[in-house]
Each structure stands twice: as structure tokens, then as C-alpha cells.
Amino acid sequence: MHPARKQRLIIVAIIVIGASAAAALIANALKQNLNLFYEPTRIVNGEAPIGRKIRVGGMVLENSLTRVPDSLTVQFVVTDYEAEVTVEFTGILPDMFTEEAGTVATGVLTEEGLFVAEQVLAKHDETYMPPEVAAALKNKPPSY
């Protein structure tokens, strides 16, 4: 083979191998880090996987926030006004976290239906509502 062509072939081969390796790595990493969002209704209906990292979002139910004494562990109830999920979180809640406001938690659902969160997000200002929470609450006005 012509030396220049041979050289070009080597370069192309390196690029192809590198690109496919990268593509495989990307696909694998993406698969492991996708966190699917579930409304409380779907969690109560048993549609959410147990022991896999997922996200849940909705409104924090009024008067549902309780603290475990002498620790940073809190429990609160997230609702879409049809079903309710209890969320447990150990750590510092975000500044804008309040009852009767939207929240999105990332964590794992246990066999008992308790959602153990490793991260809790709240809105950034008074008027803002996370789009996923807004969608979860669509056509479901508070019944009380």
C-alpha cells in the first residue's frame, strides 16, 4: 500500500476505535445515571422500582414536616393531591423548602414505601414551580 494511504488508514482506524470506545462508555455511563421522575400516584400504584435511584416530586403536605429529635433527620409527605409518599431525609433542607410548596427529591424507594432521599430540591423563588411538579399537579386542584 502507498505509505501516505497507509498512514491515513492508521489514523482513520484510531479515530474509529476511539470513537466507538467513547460511544460505548457514554452509553454505559448514561444508562447508570438516568433518574426517572415519578408522581406520588404512580409510586403508590407500585409503578416505581424499589432500590433504584429515582426522583419524586409534588407539594409538601401541610403540617407533615417532622424532625427526629437530636439529629438532622426529617420526614415529610409529598403529595400530588391524589396520593401521598413519605420522604425521609438526613441533612440540611434547602432555604426555600417549606410546607405547601413544590419540591423534587432524589433517592431510593424502600419495600415499606418510604422514600429515602439523598437530595431535596426546592424552588428558587416565590413564583417558580418546577415544570415536573407543575405537570404532576395538572388538572388536580386541591380537594380541600
Partner 1 sequence: MPLLGATSGRPLWMRLGSLLALGQWVFLVVAFICLTYAFLSDDFSVKLVAMHSNSALPWYFKFSAVWGNHEGSLLLWVLILASWTLAVGYASQSLPLDMRARVLSVLGMISIGFLMFIIFTSNPFERLLLNPVADGNDLNPLLQDFGLIIHPPMLYIGYVGFSVAFAFAIAALMTGNLDAAWARWSRPWTNVAWAFLTIGIALGSWWAYYELGWGGWWFWDPVENASFMPWLAGTALIHSLAATEKRGVFRSWTVLLAILAFSLSLLGTFLVRSGILVSVHAFASDPTRGLFILAFLVLVIGGSLLLYAIKAPAIRSNAKFGLLSRETFLLINNILLAIALSVVLLGTLFPLASSALNLGSYSVGPPYFNAMFVPLTLPMIALMGIAPYISWKRTNKVSDAIPKWFVAAITSLVLATLGTSLLSNQYQQDFHWGAFTTLTVSIWLIVSTTLHILSKAKHQQGLLSGLKRLSVSYWAMVIAHMGIAVTAIGIGLTSVYEQQKDVRMLIGDDISVSGYRYQLTAINTFEGPNFSGTRGDITVFNNEDVVAVLQPEKRFYYAARNVMTEAAIDPSLTRDLYVALGEELGEGAWAVRVHVKPFVRCIWLGALMMALGGFLAVTDKRYRRKGALNA
- Taking the complex as a whole, the smallest distance from the CB of residue 62 to partner 1 amounts, in Å, to 17
Q: Looking up cell 424502600, which residue turns up?
A: 110
Handedness of CA 65, 79, 56, 45 (dihedral sign): positive
CB-wise, 103 or 143, nearer to partner 1? 103
1 binds partner 1 (CB under 8 A): no
Q: CB-based contacts of 96: which residues, under 8 Å, 6+ apart?
A: 122, 123, 124, 125
Binding range to partner 1, per CB under 8 A, among 80-88, 109-117, 118-126: 118-126
User: What letter represents residue 53's amino acid?
Assistant: K
37 binds partner 1 (CB under 8 A): yes
Q: Write the burial class of residue 106 (CB in 10 Å: 0-12 exposed, 13-18 middle, 19+ buried).
A: middle
- Taking the complex as a whole, the smallest distance from the CB of residue 113 to partner 1 amounts, in Å, to 21
Element (H, E) at 3: helix 3-32
17 binds partner 1 (CB under 8 A): no
Cell numbers describing residue 59: 407539594
CB-wise, 36 or 50, nearer to partner 1? 36
130 binds partner 1 (CB under 8 A): yes
Binding range to partner 1, per CB under 8 A, among 78-86, 108-116, 121-129: 121-129
Binding site for partner 1 (CB under 8 A): 4, 7, 10-11, 15, 18-19, 22, 25-26, 29-30, 32-37, 53, 55, 67, 70-72, 90-93, 95-96, 104, 106, 121, 124-126, 128, 130-132, 135
